[in-house]
Chain A
Amino acid sequence: MPFRWSARLALAATLALSCARLGSGPATPAAGAAAPAPKQALLLRGASVMTGAGPTLDSADVLVQEGRIAAVAASLSAPAGARVVDVHGRFVTPGIIDPHSHMGVYSVPNVVTNADGNEMTGPFKPEVRAEDSFWPQDPAIERALAGGVTTIHVLPGSANLIGGQGVTLRLVRALSAREMRFPDAPATMKMACGENPMRVYGGKGQPPQTRMAEVAMLRQELEGARAYKLDESKGHDFANEALASVLAGETLIENHCYRADEMLLRIDLFKEFGIAPRAFHHAVEAYKIRDRLHAAGVGAVVWADWWGFKMELLDAIPANAALLDEAGVTVALHSDSADDVQRLNQEAAKARAAGLRAGLEIPRERALRWITANPAWVLGIDRRVGTLEPGKDADLVVWSGDPLSVYARAQQVFIQGELVYLRGESRPPRSDFELGLPGTP
């Protein structure tokens, strides 16, 4: 273990970059993700309900019908045939959404052939799709579910300036990524700034060796895509078609970037093409430019307390999320880690505490949005998930206690009204890989 950090931080630290799924290429059937909505209504009775859209409701009921939230209020009456679950003393929140995951493309165990998320054969790979590497049997997925996570955005790594297409997935049991795909989620494209592309290619004597080359090359690549027109005699150029979708604003740019100066450079560069990133991911210096991010309508996807393991992380501060939120930036927390994804609720509490310590008043309900409503916006799925409002999909978690506590554990997790995780239940592991092994969650 010469670098013990590597197992847990390697993805973000050295190579994790990502991108998105595109509308280009062979027509992809529009999404069939997720389980069919169960018919039986569900009534959760008497919990403290944090809806993600307003104040906490003490002792409220949550009614789920046809896989959707039908009502959240005190003393709802149960429809005929409804399954009624007493959750007095518990907390209910929306399902957690992790906007930056490499589960399934860097699966555990961490072996050579599970390192499946960085196509490090060239700095521009817009045509590759995380969905096509994703291994639905990754044992980490069930641990994430046990942490109350219902939706993840899986990205290629950050070795490349354009790493490929991401995919938004629900953590339903399925045999392929396509069957997990979040219905109608926008395509996303992973891009990256800074140290990782420089290390990967510069280290081999290839471009980019410098940040100035990163900018110049990206500009040229986007210009090439702008000029691209399908030539029937040559057939499709899927890389350029993927980028055309980015330039058309249909594919969301999810941009790995740490430093304030580089984020500002990217905003200016994209502006030349009439586009903007949806969000900067990692964004450890976003607090320095929060007014600019707010003005540009660009989101920030950050950690609570990662810092320091690279030069570009030395100025990370734990109050980043709180400062961004105060400035009106849409801020989400991400894990970028198969470990931290199990505790994103704790990450929200930590980031809030850091804000309080720095003198920022952050209501608890606000911090909850960092792992629910805000990542839903970052992924363009906020019309369907992220809050417990009537009409939204019933992706929700019943917690043993206050979710903003180290002691809380997800007891029940629902996706579209269907129970997908029950803590303490004796059952075989979800991953085929773990069948017969002791110690599974």
Chain B
Amino acid sequence: MKTLLATIALVHATVHTGTGPALEDATVVIEGDHVEAVGANVTPPANATVIDGRGRQVTPGLFAVASRVGEVDAEAESSSVEGTLPESADPVRAALRVADTYNPASFTIPIARGGGITEALVTPSGGLVSGQAALVELGAQGGIRKPSAALVVSIPAPPSGEDSPSPAGGRSAAFLRLRQAFADTKLYRASHGSYLGNRLRPLSLSAADLEVLERALSRELLLLVEVDRAAEIRGVVSLARELELRIALVGAAEAWELAPELARAKIPVVIDPLRALPESFSSLHNRPDAARILQEAGVPLVIAELSSPHFAHRLRWAAGNAVAEGLSHDAAVAAVTRAPAELFGEPNTGVIRPGAVANLVLWNGDPLEVTSWAQRMWIRGAEVSLETRQDLLTRRYRHVP
């Protein structure tokens, strides 16, 4: 594979490395599947295909967190949707794996790539313990890198409005059930022999679920907790401390109110700056500059587009709007590249430095701007087409039939 890849040099470009200020008039050399060199004084190797980056910008491939790309084609058609269970199912589905049904040929993938996204943490939805998220790469082969990259927990508001009724019964029920589930997991772990010998009291969960929860209890598996209201964020933080769980918060509309506390506990927060309405009784204190507040307090910040797999391409604009509300441009780029990669144990992606995985995007301008677009993309050094079905339609109808 490696031998098939060309050596490429992007020259005279503005390079956002994900690790600090942008480099002006810089060169990036891609050798095989990795970045060989980056900097203002790098000379392209003699055998390199040189690409003029004048007036253009380079970023690491963007990382979409808590996305449902690859799980959906046309959302309203339930026959095209995976990664969830019927409302009637047990709300604790730790054994559910998105990786079993993730579809790299989904309609949603090319549009996401058009938004500069090369990696995604694809999450299940529904229930209380929704299941295991998969870390995927949006390359031509559409590879699953980690089939079990995190365990998703959702602290729901009680049934309301047009929302589907919550199978978990609301916030109180969620905490109750979580405590029961982890108590059973501890018992299962401590009395495994008795369990196998059928000498243990009945447990609330299947062995398949308990095995996964045990990985969370042992801190191997990160718990990604969807929670908005400050009250429940406190509850989740306290539960995590009690059970010694490794957690990150997702959605987290009111996390900014607890920024110092979250910073002290080093709890990463994944927020969507495009979502700033008091859209429910769980997010009445939502505000558009929450990213800045969290960042200034020292909370590990990840920016995500959380509304729809059909809006995955909006990730860079979510970051751009955070900049308009006071976050620094460098921090915003890092929040959609390096920070999520680190959070999910991929320190060698989301950055441009020697030895890093060559997941790169070439833009015709500021990557966070609404006026620019992605022109070329490489995943592990292989160029990936950015052509979408939308492009084909545009071409077909460029002249009215």
Measured between C-beta atoms, what is the minimum distance from B65 to chain A in Å? 13
Measured between C-beta atoms, what is the minimum distance from B390 to chain A in Å? 4
**Given A14-B76, A143-B277, A349-B371, is A110 in contact with B321 using a C-beta cutoff of 8 Å?**
no
User: Is B280 interfacial (CB 8 A cutoff)?
Assistant: yes
Say whether B314 contacts A408, CB under 8 Å: no
Say whether B126 contacts A1, CB under 8 Å: yes
**Given A112-B161, A353-B371, is A5 in contact with B278 using a C-beta cutoff of 8 Å?**
no
List of A residues within 8 angstroms of B84 by Cβ: 2
Q: Which of B40-48, B193-201, B285-293 contacts A (4 or more CB under 8 A)?
A: B285-293
List of B residues within 8 angstroms of A108 by Cβ: 277-280
Please tell me which one of the listed residues A1, A110, A289, A343 contacts residue B226 in the complex, with CB atoms under 8 A apart: A1
| Contact-size category for A | 35 or more
Complex Cα distance, B398 from A119, in Å, reads 40
List of A residues within 8 angstroms of B308 by Cβ: 4-5, 8-9, 309
List of A residues within 8 angstroms of B320 by Cβ: 406-407
Say whether B277 contacts A404, CB under 8 Å: no
**Given A2-B125, A406-B320, is A306 in contact with B280 using a C-beta cutoff of 8 Å?**
no
Complex Cα distance, B313 from A114, in Å, reads 30
A-B contact count (CB 8 A): 192
Complex Cα distance, B162 from A15, in Å, reads 10
User: Is A174 interfacial (CB 8 A cutoff)?
Assistant: no
**Given A3-B164, A315-B393, A437-B285, is A339 in contact with B274 using a C-beta cutoff of 8 Å?**
yes
Say whether B74 contacts A313, CB under 8 Å: yes
Please tell me which one of the listed residues B277, B368, B391 contacts residue A139 in the complex, with CB atoms under 8 A apart: B277
Please tell me which one of the listed residues B75, B280, B390 contacts residue A110 in the complex, with CB atoms under 8 A apart: B280
Interface string of A100-119 (1 = CB under 8 A from B): 00000000111110110000
Measured between C-beta atoms, what is the minimum distance from A401 to chain B in Å? 10
User: Is B350 interfacial (CB 8 A cutoff)?
Assistant: no
Say whether A7 contacts B279, CB under 8 Å: yes
| Contact-size category for B | 35 or more
Say whether B279 contacts A109, CB under 8 Å: yes
User: Is A177 interfacial (CB 8 A cutoff)?
Assistant: no
Say whether A112 contacts B160, CB under 8 Å: yes
List of A residues within 8 angstroms of B317 by Cβ: 346, 350, 406
Say whether A4 contacts B125, CB under 8 Å: yes
Q: Which of A315, A319, A439 has the most CB of B within 10 A?
A: A439
User: Is B307 interfacial (CB 8 A cutoff)?
Assistant: yes
- Which residue of A is nearest B160, CB measured? A111
Say whether A309 contacts B74, CB under 8 Å: yes
List of B residues within 8 angstroms of A359 by Cβ: 398
Say whether A338 contacts B277, CB under 8 Å: yes
User: Is B214 interfacial (CB 8 A cutoff)?
Assistant: no
User: Is A256 interfacial (CB 8 A cutoff)?
Assistant: no
User: Is B275 interfacial (CB 8 A cutoff)?
Assistant: yes
Please tell me which one of the listed residues A111, A310, A339 contacts residue B281 in the complex, with CB atoms under 8 A apart: A111
List of B residues within 8 angstroms of A439 by Cβ: 254, 256, 278, 284-287
- Which residue of A is nearest B73, CB measured? A308
List of A residues within 8 angstroms of B73 by Cβ: 308
User: Is A170 interfacial (CB 8 A cutoff)?
Assistant: no
User: Is B156 interfacial (CB 8 A cutoff)?
Assistant: yes
List of B residues within 8 angstroms of A313 by Cβ: 74
User: Is B77 interfacial (CB 8 A cutoff)?
Assistant: yes
Complex Cα distance, B108 from A313, in Å, reads 13
Say whether B368 contacts A311, CB under 8 Å: no
Say whether A1 contacts B279, CB under 8 Å: no
Say whether B323 contacts A5, CB under 8 Å: no
**Given A309-B76, A315-B393, A350-B370, is A6 in contact with B163 using a C-beta cutoff of 8 Å?**
yes
Interface string of B269-307 (1 = CB under 8 A from A): 000001111111101111110000000000000000011
Complex Cα distance, B278 from A434, in Å, reads 9
Q: For window 113-140 of chain A, which residues contact chain B by CB distance below 8 Å?
A: 114-115, 139-140
User: Is B394 interfacial (CB 8 A cutoff)?
Assistant: yes
Say whether A349 contacts B370, CB under 8 Å: yes
Say whether B277 contacts A140, CB under 8 Å: yes
List of A residues within 8 angstroms of B368 by Cβ: 406
Q: For window 279-293 of chain A, which residues contact chain B by CB distance below 8 Å?
A: 287-291
Say whether A353 contacts B370, CB under 8 Å: yes
Q: For window 182-202 of chain A, which residues contact chain B by CB distance below 8 Å?
A: 195, 199
**Given A112-B161, A339-B275, A407-B320, is A13 in contact with B76 using a C-beta cutoff of 8 Å?**
yes
Interface string of A404-441 (1 = CB under 8 A from B): 11111100000000000000000000000010011111
User: Is B16 interfacial (CB 8 A cutoff)?
Assistant: no
List of A residues within 8 angstroms of B76 by Cβ: 13-14, 195, 199, 309-311
Please tell me which one of the listed residues B77, B285, B370, B372 contacts residue A310 in the complex, with CB atoms under 8 A apart: B77
Measured between C-beta atoms, what is the minimum distance from B41 to chain A in Å? 31
User: Is A217 interfacial (CB 8 A cutoff)?
Assistant: no
Complex Cα distance, B391 from A438, in Å, reads 44
List of B residues within 8 angstroms of A314 by Cβ: 74, 107
Complex Cα distance, B277 from A8, in Å, reads 10
Give the 7 A-B residue pairs with the shortest CB-CB distance, closest first.
A406-B320, A2-B126, A5-B308, A439-B287, A309-B75, A439-B285, A349-B370
Other A-B contacts than A287-B397, A404-B371, A437-B278, 4 sampled, CB-CB below 8 A, are A5-B308, A289-B400, A343-B321, A350-B370
Q: Which A residues contact B (CB, under 8 angstroms)?
A: 1-10, 13-15, 108-112, 114-115, 139-140, 143, 195, 199, 287-291, 305-311, 313-319, 323, 327, 338-339, 342-343, 346, 349-350, 352-354, 357-359, 404-409, 434, 437-441
29 contacts between A and B (CB under 8 A): A1-B163, A2-B84, A3-B125, A4-B306, A5-B75, A7-B163, A7-B280, A8-B307, A9-B307, A109-B283, A110-B163, A111-B160, A308-B74, A308-B75, A308-B107, A308-B108, A338-B277, A339-B277, A346-B317, A349-B370, A349-B371, A350-B370, A353-B372, A357-B373, A358-B394, A405-B369, A406-B323, A407-B320, A409-B324
Q: Which B residues contact A (CB, under 8 angstroms)?
A: 68, 73-77, 84, 87, 107-108, 111, 125-127, 154, 156, 160-164, 167, 226, 254, 256-257, 274-281, 283-288, 306-311, 313-314, 317, 320-321, 323-324, 368-373, 390-391, 393-394, 397-398, 400-401
